[in-house]
Amino acid sequence: MAQEMMNTKEADVGIATIAVAKLLGLPFIPIAKESFDMILEQKTFFHKGIQAFIETLNSKEFRQRVEPIGAYDFKDSGKILYSTH
């Protein structure tokens, strides 16, 4: 929809992620940096599925697939940033 509106001159700008802009072939100017955290109980963190998810985020293969669609920062992926214990 954003691309159509820009193509028909109904809009000059829109808010989107870099991934969406790239998929639609639109220019991208960042206006903010966002981070996304996953909040889990300690016992949940060690579940097999959660550990597999974190392993995937940290894998070279996943990062190579994601790299072309956005400038994502994975430096804290899988790290425990805060704990109440």
- The residue among 83 and 4 whose pLDDT is bigger is 83
CA distance 70 to 81: 24
Per-residue pLDDT for 7 more than 70?
Answer: no
To the question of pTM greater than 0.85 for the whole model, the response is no
Q: What are phi and psi of 43, to 5 degrees?
A: -65, -30
Q: Can you give the pLDDT at residue 23?
A: 85
